[in-house]
């Protein structure tokens, strides 16, 4: 009898294995181009998460199909179309920049395919969308954290530096200004820059004349690094505060000693990682890359983890692991997800409600300062 049962069990296992299928997740990242560091670090964290778990509870395997959009809006939208039409993916993960995610979102919506961005913080990314979710907090919260930190430290007069080409920067600037002025702060000047600019002497001269207590830089790391160098060279001593778009090693590599003291809000710092999930990820990251775990990688890992959790919930409900409507419902209904970057709850808009950290460049490294809760 025992032998018969063993054969029957083996047959059942073989049958289940034969029925198992491959479920594809399409990934769109800027792996080359001006913000390639965003995409490359995201891919690094995603690889860790994939290596740790690439099989669903029913035996289905997960495959990542990764495309490089070079940080371009048109290519981002085209990449989604290709992933859907040619590769037959079930879910889209990406992009980093809000402008690119906003170009991708209508394509995903039309195809009724769930899309999750791990790092796009502009509120418009998910506004009015049914199939778009995010694993990060949004700019109004990030801008409010920047404003609160500045005012709590007696910095009541600010200059805002806005990248006119980036929806991320424009939205973040508005959020900072709203929170800052509502709490009694004064905006001395708003200075405009453009992505790709190298010479900021004219803008720095304007900042110097305004003599602010703090400079709220709302763009990305390439311009931040160059501007802080030029500002210090021209005698501007006011501290800079930015957001998650500046927290990359290139800020220090390019900015050098002039980047010291540059503060920014962020989604993650391994020094604040306390959960078992976060510690396991950080250990794996150190082992694989021999360097500190970064924010974009942790966010990408969380987005991937949320997708797998949603798929497994579909399986628990007796549905297919690639049921797009089921996956989307579970993503939008995420509550209490224990991620690398903290506990994630998704609200009715598809946005993550979670904590933020404030980091600072100290001795050439990104040091943790504090955590700010929603």
256 lies in the same domain as 164 = yes
62 lies in the same domain as 159 = no
Range of the domain at 315: 2-137+274-355
Strand order, beta sheet including 91-93: 61-68, 22-29, 91-93, 115-117, 132-134
Distance in angstroms (rounded) separating the CA atoms of residues 103 and 177: 26
193 lies in the same domain as 317 = no
Is residue 370 in some structural domain?
no
pLDDT computed for residue 274 by the predictor: 84
Q: Which of 249, 266, 283 is the last residue of a domain?
A: 266
Domain with residue 299: its CATH number is: 3.40.50.2300
Is residue 245 in some structural domain?
yes
62 lies in the same domain as 116 = yes
Is residue 368 in some structural domain?
no
- Nearest by Cα to 355 from 266, 244, 245: 266
Is residue 373 in some structural domain?
no
252 lies in the same domain as 289 = no
Helix spans in the chain (H): 2-19, 36-52, 73-85, 98-110, 139-152, 167-182, 201-210, 221-233, 249-255, 276-289, 295-316, 324-332
Number of structural domains (the chain) is 2
Is residue 177 in some structural domain?
yes
Strand, coil or helix: what is 312? helix
Q: Which of 204, 237, 266 is the last residue of a domain?
A: 266
Is residue 369 in some structural domain?
no
As beta bridge partners, residue 312 has: none
168 lies in the same domain as 239 = yes
127 lies in the same domain as 170 = no
Q: Which of 242, 266, 290 is the last residue of a domain?
A: 266
Its sign, for the CA torsion 183, 264, 261, 202, is: negative
Q: Which two tokens stand for residue 262?
A: 């540059």
pLDDT tens for the chain, 374 residues long, are 444 444 444 443 444 445 789 999 999 999 999 999 999 999 999 999 999 999 999 999 999 999 999 999 999 999 999 999 999 999 999 999 999 999 999 999 999 999 999 999 999 999 999 999 999 999 999 999 999 999 999 999 999 999 999 999 999 999 999 999 999 999 999 999 999 999 999 999 999 999 999 999 999 999 999 999 999 999 999 999 999 999 988 999 999 999 999 999 999 999 998 889 999 999 999 999 999 999 999 999 999 999 999 999 999 999 999 999 999 999 999 999 999 999 999 999 999 999 999 999 999 999 999 888 88
Alpha-carbon dihedral of residues 71, 72, 77, 81, nearest 10 degrees? Answer: -70
Q: Which two tokens stand for residue 229?
A: 């160098």
58 lies in the same domain as 115 = yes
Residues, the chain, total? 374
Q: Which two tokens stand for residue 21?
A: 């299928």
Is residue 362 in some structural domain?
no
71 lies in the same domain as 106 = yes
Is residue 307 in some structural domain?
yes
Record the pTM: 0.84
pLDDT computed for residue 19 by the predictor: 78
260 lies in the same domain as 338 = no
Q: Which residues contact 88 (CB under 8 A, 6 or more apart)?
A: 24
12 lies in the same domain as 133 = yes
């Amino acid at each position: 009898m025992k032998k018969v049962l063993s054969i029957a069990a083996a047959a059942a296992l073989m049958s289940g294995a034969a029925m198992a299928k491959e479920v594809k997740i399409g990934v769109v990242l800027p792996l080359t181009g001006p913000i390639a560091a965003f995409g490359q670090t995201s891919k690094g964290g995603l690889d860790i998460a994939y290596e740790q778990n690439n099989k669903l509870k029913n035996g289905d395997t997960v495959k990542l199909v990764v495309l490089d959009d070079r940080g371009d809006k048109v290519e981002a939208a085209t990449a989604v179309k290709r992933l859907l039409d040619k590769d037959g993916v079930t879910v889209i993960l990406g992009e980093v920049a809000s402008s690119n995610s906003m170009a991708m979102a209508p394509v995903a919506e039309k195809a009724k395919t769930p899309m999750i961005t791990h790092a796009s913080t502009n509120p418009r990314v998910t506004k009015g969308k049914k199939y778009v979710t995010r694993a990060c907090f949004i700019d109004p919260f990030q801008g409010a954290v920047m404003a609160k930190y500045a005012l709590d430290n007696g910095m009541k007069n600010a200059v805002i530096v806005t990248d006119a080409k980036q929806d991320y920067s424009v939205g973040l600037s508005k959020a900072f200004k709203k929170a800052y002025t509502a709490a009694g702060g004064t905006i001395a000047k708003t200075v405009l820059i453009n992505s790709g600019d190298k010479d900021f002497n004219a803008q720095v001269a304007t900042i110097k004349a305004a003599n602010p207590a703090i400079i709220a830089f709302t763009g990305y790391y390439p311009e931040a690094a160059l501007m802080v160098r030029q500002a210090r060279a021209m005698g501007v001593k006011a501290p800079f505060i930015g957001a998650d778009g500046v927290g990359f090693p290139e800020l220090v590599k390019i900015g050098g000693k002039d980047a010291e003291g540059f503060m920014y809000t962020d989604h993650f710092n391994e020094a604040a990682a306390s959960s078992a999930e976060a510690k396991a990820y950080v250990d794996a990251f150190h082992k694989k890359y021999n360097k500190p775990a970064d924010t974009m990688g942790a966010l990408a890992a969380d987005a991937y983890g949320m997708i797998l959790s949603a798929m497994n919930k579909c399986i628990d409900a007796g549905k297919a692991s690639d049921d797009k409507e089921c996956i989307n419902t579970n993503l939008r209904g995420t509550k209490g997800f224990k991620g690398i970057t903290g506990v994630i709850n998704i609200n009715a808009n598809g946005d993550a409600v979670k904590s933020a950290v404030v980091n600072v460049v100290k001795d050439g490294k990104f040091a943790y300062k504090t955590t700010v809760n929603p």
